[in-house]
């Protein structure tokens, strides 16, 4: 399931975050430092050092927005979220076809996170750079994504995906992974569709008793499928 989340950050929030990143000369490092064996061979970008104070501050700001974003909660059903990271592509930088590592260690905690859902939050407007499209392979073929600044896309971490070369300007983005309470993508997709339908029924004032039964079925499916902690 691929889900577009528009306006995760407001235009003002996006501009402020982008300004901080563009002014950060010191803590940018080779993106391969967090890549696995497969990814390192095809990864050519830079990322903000994840142990830097700036990365932690900006990551906390992104997490605060996601915690209040109903569509993110509905689509990802998050159990744990890897601390957001930030990358930039310029001068031909790209990331070849790869699948994200299945398990990541959360820095400084000793805890592991299974990557069920991958997320990219676009921070540069599309007209500020050429190339830099995120290509994600799903059951309907290859999806090409170059979203407005402040928009996020969620997709299964099992997906083969890549970022095309940036030939002009700079592509700035935030990326993270989610360990979902519901591990199976098909089950998450079903629950997401049910939640959306329930919200539409509520908005139209549909039969309250019927909606209560459907809502009970939704939560009972989560009880059946969810693994927490």
Residues 120-131 have pLDDT tens digits of: 999 999 999 999
Domain extent, residue 195, equals: 185-225
CATH assignment of the domain containing 129: 2.60.120.620
User: Phi then psi for 52, rounded to 5 degrees?
Assistant: -80, 155
State whether 29 and 69 are in the same domain.
yes
Number of domains in the chain: 2
State whether 94 and 193 are in the same domain.
no
User: 17 pLDDT band (50/70/90 cuts)?
Assistant: very high
User: What CA–CA distances, in Å, run from 42 to 3, 36, 37, 211?
Assistant: 26, 10, 10, 49
Rounded to an integer, the average pLDDT of 151-166 is 98
State whether 105 and 218 are in the same domain.
no
CA 41 to chain centre: 22
User: Phi then psi for 115, rounded to 5 degrees?
Assistant: -85, 105
Instruction: State the chain's mean pLDDT as an integer.
Output: 94
Please check the confidence at residue 37 and state whether its pLDDT lies above 70. no
Tokens of 160: 């083969």
Give the burial string for 169-207 (b: 16+ CB within 10 Å, else e): bbbbbbbbbbbbbbeebebbbbbbebbeebeebeeeeee
d(CA 60, CA 64): 6
CATH assignment of the domain containing 217: 4.10.860.20
State whether 137 and 154 are in the same domain.
yes
- Count CA atoms closer than 13 A to 175's CA, side-chain side: 19
Please check the confidence at residue 147 and state whether its pLDDT lies above 90. yes
**Vertex 59, ends 56 and 64: CA angle to 5°?**
125
State whether 24 and 135 are in the same domain.
yes
d(CA 15, CA 7): 13
State whether 36 and 149 are in the same domain.
yes
Selection from 177, 170, 163, 175 nearest residue 88 by Cα: 170
d(CA 174, CA 163): 14
State whether 123 and 207 are in the same domain.
no
**Vertex 10, ends 137 and 169: CA angle to 5°?**
60
Which pLDDT score, from 0 to 100, does residue 36 have?
Answer: 65
Which pLDDT score, from 0 to 100, does residue 81 have?
Answer: 97
Please check the confidence at residue 142 and state whether its pLDDT lies above 90. yes
Which pLDDT score, from 0 to 100, does residue 34 have?
Answer: 78
State whether 220 and 154 are in the same domain.
no
Q: What is the pTM of this model?
A: 0.94
């Amino acid at each position: 399931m691929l889900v577009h989340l528009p306006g995760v950050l407001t235009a003002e929030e996006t501009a402020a975050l982008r300004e901080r990143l563009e002014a950060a000369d010191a803590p940018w490092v080779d993106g391969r430092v967090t890549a696995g064996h497969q990814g390192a061979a095809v990864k050519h970008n830079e990322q903000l050092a994840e142990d830097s104070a700036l990365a932690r501050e900006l990551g906390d700001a992104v997490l605060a927005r996601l915690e209040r974003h109903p569509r993110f909660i509905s689509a990802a059903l998050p159990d744990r979220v890897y601390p957001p990271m930030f990358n930039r592509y310029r001068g031909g930088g790209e990331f070849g076809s790869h699948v994200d590592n299945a398990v990541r260690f959360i820095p400084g905690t000793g805890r592991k996170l299974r990557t069920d859902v991958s997320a990219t939050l676009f921070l540069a407007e599309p007209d500020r750079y050429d190339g830099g499209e995120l290509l994600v392979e799903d059951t309907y073929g290859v999806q090409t994504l170059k979203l407005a600044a402040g928009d996020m896309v969620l997709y299964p971490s099992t997906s083969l995906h890549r970022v095309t070369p940036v030939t002009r300007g700079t592509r700035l983005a935030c990326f993270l992974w989610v360990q979902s309470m519901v591990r199976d993508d098909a089950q998450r997709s079903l629950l997401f569709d049910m939640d959306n339908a329930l919200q539409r029924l509520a908005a139209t004032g549909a039969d309250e008793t019927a909606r209560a039964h459907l809502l009970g079925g939704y939560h009972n499916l989560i009880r059946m499928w969810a693994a927490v902690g």
